[in-house]
A and B are shown apart, each in its own frame.
Chain A
Amino acid sequence: MIFKKHLIALVSLVSLSLITCEVYALSTAEQTGLDISIESKKRDIGWQDSTADMLMLLRNREGQESVREMKIKSLEVQDDGDKSLTIFNKPRDVKGTAFLSFSHPVAADDQWLFLPALKRVKRISSRNKSGPFMGSEFAFEDLSSFEVEKYTYKYLVDERINQLDNYKLEQYPVDENSGYTRRVVWLDKAEYRVQKIDFYDRKNALLKTLTFRNYQQYLGKHWRAANQAMINHQTGKSTELVWSNYVFKTGLKDSDFNRNSLKRAR
């Protein structure tokens, strides 16, 4: 009896280690891709919290322009995705509307929207990650915090863009609800900052390109791009984000990211 039990345990242990071996048997390119991404995340750890103003310039194919103005408060969460509170100021009809998001490395993000006219807090379906944010070319998932576990990786080649030496790698979303099959990402070798991302849609056709410009360093450590330009190659539409008034370590706490703070956000 005892022998049988041990045998079962041994067999399951062996099969378990075989499975784990398979999971972790990364090719050199995959390992390099993962290492670069871990390093990139590691270099930004410790920012604690931040507030910033964001201007969103939306342009359609006909050149019509529309502006959205918002304030974003973010909180760094150790061992989980970050929390953020986005407060809309323009267009004026959505003034006071606020969006609360708890992002998670693998599980779907928790998201709530506060509608000031109705005084109503609404939960948003987690499936909406591939949907456009405020009619822009940014999907919800493009604005969610970067977590290593969200992708699997493959290092491709070294490439020089934006007058910088870059690592070029591929990221494959783990979540099947993602709107992408893969993202091709350029990270500069000196500071591990994202310089450019190509997004490939579910049919693996090039959908969008996002370029980061005017990086500024805060607290001598954390790099943030003041400009992010997204171009949709399939529709000709584009969205530019202009960031300003970045402040770090403002003392935001967990209690600044709940249902009450969502309702009173200005």
Chain B
Amino acid sequence: MYLLVNKGQLMAISLAASISLLQGESYANEVEVSGKISVEQRYFFEKPLQSSQLTYGQTSLALEPEFYWQWNDANDSLTFKPFYRLDSQDNQRNHGDIRELAYVHTSDEWELRLGIRKEFWGVTEFQHLVDVINQTDGAEDFDGEDKLGQQMINLSLVNDWGIVDIFLLPGFRERTFSGEDGRLRIPFIVDEHNVNYESSAGQQHLDVAFRWVHSKGDFDLGAYWFHGTNRDPILTSSKSSAVNKNQLGLENTVKLQQYYNQMDQLGVEVLATLGDWLWKFESIYRNTKLEGFWATQAGFEYSFIGVFSSDLDFGLIMEHGWDSRGEVTLAEVGSPLQNDIFIGARLEFNDLQSSNTLMGIGSDLDHNAFTLIIEASSRIGDDFIASFDLRLLQSNEENDLLYNLSHDDHLQLSLVWYF
């Protein structure tokens, strides 16, 4: 067990704390407490690929309270959102993070945000290509949706021609991974103590990003430039352990070392709202010492409102992912989504319980790899949400990243209490 706090975060904490002290006694504002506690049960249908991995069941409990203060007519605020998960099987999933600890000052034409925050960019559903600020909390889940808090100084300027955001990102967060006991991971263990950086500043490299977003009529547009540490690590077997390297799939103790290079990335996002259609486009160009490549994720969402003269809303989503590097093997650096198609169907029941379901299929058009997810959730009483997630992962290609997860089909049930 460990709590992920580094120097940069400590700086952010003390900065935020001193600002909150500055607010003085004259504003004795009450703290607003809310949050959620969730219980989650995973059930895997098959025996694992590696014998060290857990067999069938995995239970976990997660806490995420939120403390919020505001003063000066809500023009100043402080948010603190810690997170902790306890897992019955995977030691690496016993982990905590400060999702948010940020001071925000708002003025008419600008906003200053200091501290640890989460910033999401993008318009597509099945892959978040342009989303680059926060590191992935990979121990949480394999889908990359969960993010670690990122320390930042963010100045946001509001203009008639759009909002410009300037980000200074001191302190880099290393990705988290499932542990040896965990499922939904590559066959080798990622060594969290063997991490190297291209930059001599290592984890202390100051990353920067400039972003512009604007809504004009039916179009939402965004573009940015990011310069700094690549959030995606290059994983290689470490020299010392390479000697004992066994064949893939066999028992092994080879650990992977992480290498984070420097990158420049340009990103654009376009969303066109044309009647029943939402057209979505995301693209990046990433340049590192190793390579330069393009990737896009594009598609549409079509909504049927009130199908069969009922309250049901039905949404059809189709997206395609492309990467200029093409097909890659496990040993190469690349993207598993080089020519992949995604089809999703969303159903909103518009009932008292806000029930909804989402079904998604992802398929690699270059070789045989396939994923199917079915998600359903509904409110119970006033403060609980129950959800059901089924994930089926299939691949016949041993070189495919998904192959390593092909024994990890599972059902996940969760109950979340909001307070």
Q: Identify the A interface with B (CB < 8 A).
A: 58, 60, 64, 66-67, 90-95, 108, 110, 112, 118-120, 123-128, 130-132, 134-135, 177, 179, 253, 255, 258-260, 264, 266
Contacts and interface: CB of A to CB of B under 8 A. Distances in A.
Nearest to A59: B352
Contact of A125 (B109, B123, B273, B354): B273
7 contacts: A93-B354, A125-B273, A127-B276, A128-B305, A131-B313, A135-B353, A255-B109
Interface in B368-392: 379, 382-383, 385
Given A126-B273, A128-B305, A260-B111, 17 more contacts: A58-B352, A66-B382, A67-B382, A91-B382, A92-B419, A95-B418, A110-B215, A112-B215, A119-B119, A120-B120, A130-B306, A132-B311, A134-B354, A135-B354, A255-B158, A259-B163, A264-B104
B278 interface: yes
B350 A135 contact: yes
B74 A266 contact: yes
Nearest to A60: B352
B40 interface: no
Contacts of A258: 158, 163
Interface residues of B, number: 50
Nearest to B68: A266
Contact of A179 (B213, B306, B418): B306
Interface of B: 32, 34, 36, 68, 70, 74, 77, 104, 106, 108-109, 111, 118-120, 122-123, 145, 156, 158, 163, 213, 215, 217-218, 220, 271, 273, 275-278, 301, 303, 305-306, 311, 313, 350-354, 379, 382-383, 385, 416, 418-419
Contacts of A64: 352
A264 B106 contact: yes
Contacts of A95: 34, 418
B120 A119 contact: yes
Contacts of A124: 273
Given A128-B313, A135-B350, A135-B354, A92 B278 contact: no
A245 to B, nearest CB: 15
Contacts of A110: 215, 217-218, 273
A67 B381 CA distance: 11
A132 B350 contact: yes
B277 A125 contact: yes
Contacts of B215: 110, 112, 259
A125 B120 contact: no
Among all A-B residue pairs, the 5 with the closest Cβ atoms: A92-B418, A66-B352, A119-B120, A131-B305, A132-B350
Nearest to B275: A127
Contacts of B353: 66, 135
A130 B350 contact: no
Residue from A108, A126, A134 whose CB has the most chain B CB atoms within 10 Å: A126
A259 to B, nearest CB: 6
Contacts of A93: 36, 354, 379, 383, 385, 416, 418
A125 B163 contact: no
Contact of B418 (A91, A123, A132): A91
A131 B306 contact: yes
Nearest to B70: A266
Contacts of B77: 264, 266
Contact of A131 (B104, B271, B350, B419): B350
Contact of B271 (A60, A123, A255, A259): A123
A240 to B, nearest CB: 14
A126 B275 contact: yes
A132 B310 CA distance: 10
A264 B418 CA distance: 20
Contacts of B311: 132, 135
A131 B314 CA distance: 11
Nearest to B214: A259
A260 B350 contact: no
Contacts of B275: 108, 125-127, 177
Contacts of A255: 108-109, 158
A8 to B, nearest CB: 34
Contacts of A92: 34, 382-383, 418-419
Contacts of A58: 352
Contacts of B351: 60, 135
A128 B382 contact: no
A123 B382 contact: no
Contacts of B303: 125, 127-128
Contact of B220 (A94, A123, A134): A123
Contacts of A119: 118-120
A90 B418 CA distance: 10
B383 to A, nearest CB: 5
Contacts of B74: 266
